[in-house]
Amino acid sequence: MNSPASPFQTAQQRSSARQAKRDAVLRAAVQMFNEKGFHQTSLDDVAARLGVSKPTIYHYLGNKDQVLFECVTFGLAQLIEAAQASQARPGRGIDRLIAFLTRYAEINMDDFGRCVILTGDEALSPDSRKQFHALKRQIDTAMRQLIRDGIDDGSIAPVDPKMLAFALAGALNWPARWHDPQGTETAADIATHLVSLLAQGFRPR
């Protein structure tokens, strides 16, 4: 005879449910920061969008500054993960760089990457700002290394890796400000097109 199913959640189910609620709060917050601006958005606004109480926001994420730090940290972590995945790919340096740049652009057009670009670091506390800059340096270092790898194997023209990294990041950060998620072109299509245009500048002649 089968045992009746327990009406009580397991520890794993409780943990999964908590994470899902936390993710929902974070997603609502980052979307409102992007829509209205960080300073114009209150946690009351976020709570109202989700139909929960303000203490619920504090329970899952803490105060407003902590919520912002969670948002930008998640966006930067996605970029670091993309860089690591590209570095691990086989093939030429230029192909690994293009794979990273394409993902970089896509992330910056999504909610959390967009928050990194639109909000900046001035809204963060001094301690959070230091961590923010450390993560950004990690991304810049990874991009420069991908460029150097391509130069070393001859698939990228001999250029200054620092200057090229700055130029690429600047170009691919900008779509966060003009891309319309409801528009006819997807983020993936825009990313592919932009990176294809940019790659014409660093391919060997």
Q: What is the pLDDT of residues 36-72, one digit of tens each?
A: 999 898 888 888 888 888 888 888 888 888 889 999 9
Whether residue 48 sits in one domain with residue 116: no
Per residue in 152-169, pLDDT tens?
999 999 999 999 999 999
Confidence (pLDDT) at 162:
97
Confidence (pLDDT) at 19:
72
Whether residue 189 sits in one domain with residue 97: yes
Q: What percent of the chain has pLDDT over 90?
A: 62
Whether residue 153 sits in one domain with residue 182: yes
Whether residue 141 sits in one domain with residue 71: yes
How does 5-25 read in b/e, with b if 16+ C-beta sit within 10 Å? Answer: eeeeeeeeeeeeeeeeeeeeb
Confidence (pLDDT) at 123:
84
Give me the amino acid identity at 200. Q
State CA 88 to chain mean position distance.
19
- Domain end marker among 21, 43, 62: 62
Q: What is the pTM of this model?
A: 0.86
Confidence (pLDDT) at 14:
60
Structural domain of 38: 10-62
Q: What proportions of the chain, in percent to the nearest 5, are helix, strand and coil?
A: 75, 0, 25
Whether residue 125 sits in one domain with residue 54: no
Confidence (pLDDT) at 139:
97
Whether residue 161 sits in one domain with residue 78: yes
Does 4 map to a domain?
Answer: no
Confidence (pLDDT) at 2:
56
Whether residue 147 sits in one domain with residue 71: yes
Does 42 map to a domain?
Answer: yes
Contacts of 139 (CB under 8 A, 6+ apart): 76, 79, 80, 83
Residues of the chain with pLDDT under 50: none
Domain count, the chain: 2
Does 1 map to a domain?
Answer: no
- Domain end marker among 37, 62, 87: 62
End-to-end Cα distance, the chain: 75
* Residue of 204, 174, 170 lying closest to 190 (CA atoms): 174
